């Protein structure tokens, strides 16, 4: 129920309602120039009440974001991922300050993206916006807001800071594999780790977590069902998400190479325990990879271990492997994720496939 009063030439709207426990609540807003404006506001509030919106709740957006990720995200994410949420929370606090969540409009949010995106890469903006979108959906589910102010927002970013991941051609991959084979000796696991990445496309933390129980020589498969928190030396941790748990087929050459490590007599392929890995291992692997590429005359700017995953995808696409099979092999939850991440590669091979389609149609 709404009531209206006029004070000092301005109209006030007061909305009264009872919650499910019978408790009376009231919400008032003043400053309307006309009674019609006050009635419009009251109608909007009453409609939101009908739609389950808690019109009395209006937390500061930065506070709500912090409470949301601490409640729904923190208990099930790694320490490294938690650090990313903390950084995002600081960004939101700095930009939005004490602005309450109901005050934020689509235009407000888009202005934030435009401003913050000026000095940040696409990857940074994509990660930040995905967190904010999830938070806003939670606020809608909690009945705090009725509309998604992130809807159809455009991600803006600094193109100069955004680099397309580099990948190796087939001939370059063959050169690298040959150089790595020359480095193979069981007391140096780095070339084995890099080769595993080339042949599987697995993530660095997933490769480190492999045990001999995960390797099936009979069926030529490797099972990925955990990862290693090497950054904080916390041992095993779950994979990135449920879909990352997978069993993939591998070639006999990789299995033969990995068998050399059995002489180390360790439960894990590359270490005695998951705590054995140094937190500098990824940096060391990147340095080894780049030095090996330089040694064989391959120049790639800032080529990293993760780029091996892109090279794996590039090779499979070049061989005409279906995107669905690639998505499953990478451990993505759906093909949309694969298409979004590797869109630049898919576009490159689309031209090749278009030529093949044209040739096939000409045979009709």
Note the pTM of the prediction, 2 decimals: 0.73
pLDDT truncated to tens, each residue of the chain (364 aa)?
Answer: 788 889 888 999 888 877 777 788 888 888 899 999 999 988 887 887 777 767 667 889 999 999 999 999 988 888 888 999 999 999 999 999 999 999 999 999 999 999 999 999 988 999 999 999 999 999 999 888 988 999 999 999 998 887 777 888 889 999 999 999 999 999 999 999 999 999 999 999 999 999 999 999 999 999 999 999 988 888 999 998 898 999 999 999 999 999 999 999 999 999 999 998 888 899 999 999 999 999 999 988 778 999 999 899 989 988 888 889 999 999 998 888 787 777 767 676 666 667 777 776 777 6
In angstroms, the CA 318 to CA 236 distance is 34
Rounded to 10°, the helix 190-200/170-183 angle is 150
Nearby residues of 156 by Cβ (< 8 Å), 6 or more positions away: 113, 114, 117, 118, 125
Residue 70 in contact with residue 60, Cβ under 8 Å?
A: no
Nearest to 139 by CA among 53, 70, 81, 71: 53
In angstroms, the CA 37 to CA 142 distance is 28
């Amino acid at each position: 129920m709404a009531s209206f009063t006029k004070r000092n030439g301005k109209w006030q709207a007061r909305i009264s309602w009872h919650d499910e426990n019978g408790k009376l609540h009231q919400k008032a807003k003043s400053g309307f120039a006309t009674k019609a404006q006050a009635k419009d506001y009251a109608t909007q509030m009453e409609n939101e009440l009908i739609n389950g919106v808690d019109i009395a709740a209006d937390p500061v957006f930065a506070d709500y974001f912090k409470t949301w990720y601490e409640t729904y995200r923190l208990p099930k994410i790694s320490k490294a991922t938690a650090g990313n949420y903390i950084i995002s929370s600081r960004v939101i606090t700095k930009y939005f300050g004490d602005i309450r969540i109901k005050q934020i409009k689509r235009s407000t949010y888009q202005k934030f993206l435009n401003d913050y995106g000026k000095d940040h890469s696409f990857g940074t903006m994509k990660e930040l916006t995905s967190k904010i979108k999830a938070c806003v959906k939670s606020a809608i589910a909690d009945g705090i807001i009725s509309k998604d102010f992130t809807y159809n927002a455009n991600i803006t970013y600094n193109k100069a800071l955004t680099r397309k991941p580099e990948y190796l051609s087939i001939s370059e991959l063959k050169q690298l594999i040959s150089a790595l084979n020359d480095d193979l000796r069981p007391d140096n696991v780095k070339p084995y780790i890099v080769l595993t990445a080339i042949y599987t496309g697995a993530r660095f933390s997933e490769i480190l977590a492999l045990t001999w129980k995960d390797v099936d020589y009979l069926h030529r498969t490797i099972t990925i069902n955990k990862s290693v928190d090497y950054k904080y030396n916390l041992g095993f941790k779950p994979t990135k998400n449920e879909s990352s748990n997978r069993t993939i087929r591998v070639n006999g050459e990789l299995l033969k190479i990995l068998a050399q490590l059995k002489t180390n007599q360790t439960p894990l392929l590359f270490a005695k325990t998951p705590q054995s890995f140094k937190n500098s291992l990824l940096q060391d692997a990147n340095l080894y990879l780049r030095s090996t590429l330089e040694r064989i005359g391959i120049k790639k700017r800032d080529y990293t271990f993760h780029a091996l995953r892109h090279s794996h995808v590039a090779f499979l696409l070049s061989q005409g492997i279906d995107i669905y099979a690639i998505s499953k092999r990478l451990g993505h939850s759906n093909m949309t994720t694969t298409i979004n991440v590797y869109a630049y590669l898919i576009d490159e091979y689309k031209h090749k496939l278009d030529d093949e389609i044209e040739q096939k149609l000409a045979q009709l």
